[in-house]
Structure 1
Amino acid sequence: MAQSGPGHAAGRHWNLYIPKLVTSLREGYRWDDFRHDAIAGLTVAIVALPLAMALAIASGTTPERGLYTAIVAGFLISALGGSRFQIGGPTGAFVVVVFTVIERHGYDGLVLATLMAGAMLLLFGLFRLGTYIKYVPQPVVTGFTAGIAVIIFSSQVKDLLGLRIDQLPADFLHQWQTYLSHLGSANPAAIGMAAGTLGIILALRRWRPKLPAFLIGVLVGTLVVVALGLPVETIGSRFGEIPATLPSPTLPEISLERVRLLLPDAFTIALLAGIESLLSAMVADGMTGRRHRSNCELVAQGVANLGSALFGGIPATGAIARTATNVRAGARTPVAGMLHAVFLLAFMLLLAPLMEYVPLACLAAVLVVVAWNMSEAHRFRHLLRAPRGDRAVLLLTFGLTVLVDLTVAIQLGIVLAALLFMVRMADAVEIRSDLAEPEQDEETLPADDNAREELPASVEVFQIRGPLFFGATARLTDVLDRIGVVPAVFILRLRHVPMIDSSGVEALSIFLERCRRQGTIVILSGLQRQPAKILSRMGVTGERSGIVLAEDYPAALSRARALIDS
């Protein structure tokens, strides 16, 4: 008989924190697995090399600090994390907050803020808050991500045009005032190098997507500048020599006053790291069919940020694009991510003297592509067709991120989303003025198991009750995982869903896409007026969607039988 009690529960609890590396090794690790992991790790390292330096420069620090982060944090995130395929390192999400912290408190202040954020992430994971961080509404996530993308692009205009500006303001509006007043100092050679690098990257992404476009673009630009002796600013001319070794671990000055001053920035770093790492892990799950351990991932992110800060790096989190590259390159276990960090260390040891010749205009072109990818313009446009309240949250978060402050944007975005949710819940309550008995609920399944046994073969039925909003979407993504055999027809009963918001639409779209890939026909039965209107407006349902709509459950069951018979 299975044991139960506090000890058994504690054992299950600590299973949540077993790294996927341990799980992978227990399953058996063969030479063929190592070969695939090594190829994937090398591929990702080639992609990460120019990105790590470019993101560090955009963050207001030196390029080697980006490499330190990718090496130290990247290794720890893969070794200790809850995802098989997660690749960690510096990302665009941190550029704004890191730049601001360095400007206000210096690099030493950033180290302390990163240490505090690492401790917060550890606590988030140990208190099992990974389940709740993913509930941040989609308009808030998209709004601040698009806002960060705009700020990253804005910060690169100086190097794109080769402008002679001694001190670039951090504020968005003041940046553009400075650019306009210094247009006369534009460098044609820098403009040409930036345009050429951007053209190479875009051309390779379109016609040779398997090649490392970032590295090739930067390499060609560097060779042209060196061969022709073009007068453009390089890493060496601005930052000097790049160290060829990792620094010794050091602690910053710690005082109660500094901790108090840096607490809001540390919380922002921790929240961003938590959200982006879990989003990245979910992307990897969607690509591979695996499932990550969210709280284990948060603990790994905490340890990785502590390590990055001690070794002279900057904040780190899961990098969605590099994680997707890792999956596509054939990675099988977290060893691929660990090898990616080892390869980066080898590159730094061997190529540090050559990195000094890289033109800043070429790295600026790399960050323009990063900013465009971060903006998720298609998702932003999609959310502009969402309900009015979601549009307001999206635009408010975006505007505050660009014009005010990232922390304020996230806080007000979440508060406004919560207020809208309360209003929607109040509107969803039905008040009846008559005393008549309610009609028989035709959408209620009998309680006994015989009802499910009477379903046609290869037909599955699930029912959702209550509003499908940002706080309930995680349950929908688990539905298919709970079903053992892939059904031919899936009936999703929605008569008791009075309201759906854009996050609910996103979760439903992911669910429908998984069904489509598995060859499962989906029937939505009993759609109410508001969900039907929103799903139609946002393009989820319609003639070309392949989704079957039924007025009620009997009609859906009849349609399912017809589909099975045909």
Structure 2
Amino acid sequence: AIVIFLAQLGQFKEPGSMVNTGHGMSGGTWLGGVEMMTMLGLVALTMAVIWVMPRITRIVPAPLAGIVVVAGLVIGLGLEVPRVGDLASIEGSFPAFHWPFGQGEGLYGTPLAPLNLETLQIILPYAVILAAIGLIESLLTLNLVGEITGRRGGASQECIAQGLANTLTGFFGGMGGCAMIGQSMINVKSGGRTRIAGVAAALFLLIFILFAAPLIEQIPLAALVGVMFMVVIGTFAWNSFKILRKVPMTDAFVIILVTVVTVMEDLAVAVVVGVIVSALAYAWNNAKRIHAVERESVTEKGAKVYEIQGPLFFGSTDGFVELFDYEGDPEVVIVDFDASRVVDQSALQAIETVAGRYEAEGKRIMLRHLSRDCHQLLTRAGHLVVDSDDDPDYALAVDYGVRTGVLGGH
């Protein structure tokens, strides 16, 4: 919602005064007094019509009513305000097929590129970034629409369809595209719930481009800005301000960070940054959770049991190694993982380190209640687990001995 809002601010500036910074348009000179007041008034009128229209009738979509009312007012009074035609012409024709690889110029005068490894190396990074942004935007839109309609969309189907459509579009000189939150929200809020809405929108867009371009180009930009402002109001998560005060500090920090990065950079970068920071925060929090409950064994006389609580992974290995009393423990020690999980290679090395220290004291360590995935992880590590009487259902307290010197634990 913030990105959509900021994108509309350019319409309140002098045409041609802004500079492309690589992440959108910035700078520029704000409109003068009369022009600014006219723009603000038309935007406010559009928003008012959209707000009032559903209370009168739902036969006509509120955004369409707002655009028609403001456009009629501007054309009827002959007001000199920026219109769609001033921004860009939408008149066009059916595209022709073209092969994008070769020598010279192709469709619309665009240069052709040779089909070789060098070309692939140049375009691949940009293609991956654009694909990531498009897929993330589409999946976010799919999730948002699903929350409103109460229907679950097919994420895989959406990704495959988007990839095939963008690939096909490239052979007709078109640009890649993706689902857009703003347009989708207008569609849903106007009553669109099925594929017919999307197909109808595409057909009407085609009709406008082929036959009604002069009419569409007369629409004031202020009307479109008003529509998008109403989308911003409808999609912004206003309850996030309450959530920020209730969620853990790390989660609140991630929310704010992703929001800022989205505005300053783009959605793909923001998602990557958010995932990395969330992973680090998760590792930090879970590293402090690991502890052990000590008790005597009821199945092996004289043995001591350490019931491990919390995940064992790279962040908690140091704490895990320090849980044990290597000198004071009896000859047999059982480490019970019923409430824990062995996650990664660092966890395996930590187990071997513990086994090595007990071995140095002339004592034996056994592992108990390993989950199936933990057992497979330990087995793939080599001969770390030996003498195991495998219980496929893990319903019994099966003990596994540990062989040291395999993974380099200290």
TM-score (norm 1): 0.43
What amino acid does structure 2 have at the position aligned with 1:154?
Answer: L
In structure 1, the residue matched to 2:19 is 169
Instruction: Report the equivalent of 1:232.
Output: 81
2:5 is aligned to 153
TM-superposed CA distance for 1:275, in Å, is 2.9
Superposition pairs of residues 116-131 of structure 1, within 5 angstroms:
none
Structure that is richer in helix per residue: 1
Question: 1:430-441, aligned counterparts within 5 Å?
Answer: 430-432=291-293, 434-436=294-296
Residue in 2 aligned with 1:352? Answer: 213
The answer to whether residue 247 in structure 2 is matched with residue 408 in structure 1 is: no
Q: Residues 307 and 380 of structure 1: is their aligned pair in 2 closer, same or farther, counting only changes over 3 Å?
A: farther
Choose the corresponding residue for 1:195, options 30, 41, 44. 44
| Residue pair 2:42, 2:70 contacting (<8 A) in 1 also | yes
Change (3 A) 1:384 1:352: farther
Unaligned stretches of 5+ residues in structure 2: 101-109, 299-308, 312-338, 341-410
Shift of 1:466: 8.4
Higher relative contact order (CA 8 A, sep 6+): 1
* Aligned partner of 1:322 among 180, 184, 196: 184
Q: Tell me the secondary structure at the aligned position of residue 431 of structure 1.
A: strand
Counterpart of 1:254? Answer: 113
- Aligned ranges for residues 212-291 of structure 1 at < 5 Å? 212-240=61-89, 242-250=90-98, 251=100, 253-254=112-113, 260=121, 263-282=124-143
Secondary structure of the structure 2 residue equivalent to 1:316: coil
Is the 8 Å Cα contact of residues 190 and 232 (structure 1) preserved in structure 2? yes
Could you tell me how far apart the structure 1 residues matched to 2:209 and 2:24 are?
A: 36
Gapped runs of 5+ residues in structure 1?
Answer: 1-148, 439-464, 468-495, 498-566
- TM superposition shift of 1:411: 2.2
Q: Structure 1 245/404 Cα, relative in aligned 2: closer, same or farther at 3 Å?
A: closer
**Which segment drifts farther, 264-273 or 315-324?**
315-324
Structure 1: how far apart are the matches of 2:150 and 2:83? 43
The count of aligned residue pairs is: 290
Once residues 149 and 81 of structure 2 are traced to their aligned partners in structure 1, the CA distance between those partners, rounded to angstroms, is 44
Aligned CA distance change for structure 1 residues 150 and 390 (closer, same or farther; 3 Å)? same
Task: Give me the whole-angstrom Cα distance separating, in 1, the residues matched to 2:121 and 2:18.
Answer: 28
Residue 213 of structure 2 aligns with an amino acid whose one-letter code is A
Matches within 5 A, 1:12-411: 149-159=1-11, 161=12, 163-171=13-21, 178-179=28-29, 186-204=35-53, 208=57, 211-240=60-89, 242-250=90-98, 251=100, 253-254=112-113, 260=121, 263-282=124-143, 292-319=153-180, 322=184, 325=187, 329=191, 334=195, 337-379=198-240, 381-411=242-272
Q: Distance in 2 between matches of 1:199 and 1:427?
A: 53
> Whole-Å Cα distance in 1 between the matches of residues 22 and 234 of structure 2?
20
Gap change, CA 1:152 and 1:226, over 3 Å in 2: same
CA offset at residue 151 of structure 1? Answer: 3.7
The Cα of 1:416 is off from its aligned counterpart by 0.8
Q: CA deviation at 1:391?
A: 1.2
The 1:172/1:202 distance shift into structure 2, 3 A limit, reads: farther
Asked if the contact 1:194/1:365 (under 8 Å) is kept, the reply is: yes
Measured in 1, the distance between the counterparts of 2:231 and 2:162 equals 22
Distance (Å, rounded) in 2 between the aligned partners of 1:330 and 1:399: 32
Shift of 1:168: 1.0
The structure whose Rg is larger is 2
Q: Distance in 1 between matches of 2:148 and 2:217?
A: 37
- Using the alignment, how far apart are the partners of 2:14 and 2:196 within structure 1? 44
Q: Secondary structure at the match of 1:358?
A: coil
Separation in structure 2 between the aligned mates of residue 319 and residue 174 of structure 1, nearest angstrom: 16
Whether the aligned pair in 1 keeps the contact of 2:2 and 2:263 (CA below 8 Å) is yes
Distance in 1 (alpha carbons) for counterparts of 2:278 and 2:166: 30
Partner Cα distance (1:327, 1:203) in 2: 14
Aligned-residue sequence identity (percent) comes to 29
Contact 1:389 1:420 in 2 (8 A): yes
Q: Taking structure 1 as reference, are residues 168 and 436 closer, same or farther at Cα in structure 2, changes over 3 Å only?
A: farther
Q: Quick check: 1:284–1:324 contact (8 Å CA) kept in 2?
A: no
Post-superposition offset of 1:422: 1.6
In 1, Cα distance between equivalents of 2:55 and 2:310? 44
**Contact 1:172 / 1:403 at 8 angstroms: preserved in 2?**
no
Judging changes above 3 Å, is the alpha-carbon distance between structure 1 residues 214 and 307 closer, same or farther for their aligned structure 2 residues? farther
Q: Tell me the SS of whatever aligns to 1:204.
A: helix
CA positional deviation for 1:230: 0.6
Preserved CA contact (<8 Å) 1:164 1:186 = no
TM-score, length basis structure 2: 0.58
Q: CA deviation at 1:378?
A: 2.8
